[in-house]
Amino acid sequence: MDKRTSTGTAIGKIILIGEHAVVYGEPAIALPFPATKIKTTIYERKGPVLLNCLFHQGLLTDAPKKLFGLISTIEKIVESIGKRLYDFSIDIESSIPPERGMGSSAAVAVATLRALYDYFQIPLTREDLVSWSNISEKIVHGNPSGIDAAIIIDEKPLYYIKGSPPVPLDFKLDAYLILGDTGEASQTKTTVAHVKRLMDTDPEKYGPLLKKLGLLTERTKISIENRNPKNLGQIMSNAHHILDQLGVSNKILNKLVTVAIENGALGGKLTGGGGGGCMIALASSEKEANLISNNLLSNGAKNTWIYNMGVGFHGR
């Protein structure tokens, strides 16, 4: 008899605008990023559960602390469905750079959830997927907005307000999005805690900045609906300036945003938690996108991706 094998997949994501402000009830817009993916495969085998991933190869129980969110979620799921944490292995393949604000932790959780439920032949509802993913994200990030799990599960551009159902966006823009990786880990948990301290100590000063980010998100939605990449680029740059004022950018992010704009980008900003991670820039043509990409690489970016926004986004 053949041994059981099950797989689950998930893609990466990019927050176009609204990061950090979304934690405080302001809207954010996120995009699926299918150029990067996670694949989790579960194999039937005898003995204790093994985990094979970027950060650990060996017994699941020996996994490092940074995987605690995933491991804890796996343990709780298996317990909740009345199964034993035994006699299988988990293999996780990823093309999403970890700790870059591209939704790696949420994508790993989603792919692994899908694989686990399939392996144990239990129907997986969207509600269960969202619930378990958010449990994992809360352990990893402390106070997540929920946007990562939502965008990765639905694989559609989403307009999102914390605590409300995400609203799909009809997103098709005659422009190119360039993603640049600083090579530095995004400090999401740290930067979220930093903004919380700012809000706790001086809400009159920092609250209006988060409100401005919310207004810029609303303007972004209008620019998308009107298919106006020039306006969107300007909004992105304005948002980056505010995020820098909040102290969640850093020298390399600021440098790469400046390089992009100096080489013809319509605008640019950090994406995700900040403190490292990735930045995005908008270009009006593929030729300009390639020029910007090359200049980012020659000025410290470790990797770049270009996405044609004119082809639109398609979900599950």
Question: Which residues belong to the active site?
Answer: 148
For the chain, report the end-to-end CA distance as a whole number of angstroms.
33
With CA atoms as reference, report the closest residue to 90 among 118, 146, 36, 52.
52
CA distance 253 to 302: 12
Choose among 40, 142, 136: nearest CA to 90.
40
Look at the block and give the residue holding tokens 């790469």.
Answer: 256
- Residue 85, number of CB atoms within 10 A of its CB: 14
Q: What are phi and psi of 106, to 5 degrees?
A: -70, -40
Residue 304's DSSP bridge partners are: 180
Q: Which residue has the tokens 């709780």?
A: 76
Distance from C-alpha of 316 to C-alpha of 32, rounded to nearest angstrom: 11
In the block, tokens 């944490």 appear at 85
CA 169/CA 162 separation, integer angstroms: 16
| Residue 90 dihedral angles phi and psi, to the nearest 5° | -120, 125
The tokens describing 265, both together, are 């980008």
Contact predicate 138/144, CB 8 Å:
yes
Cα–Cα dist 104/276, whole Å: 15
Residue 18 CB partners (closer than 8 Å, separation 6+): 26, 27, 28, 29, 160, 213, 214, 216, 217
Asked whether the beta carbons of 263 and 254 are under 8 A apart, the reply is no
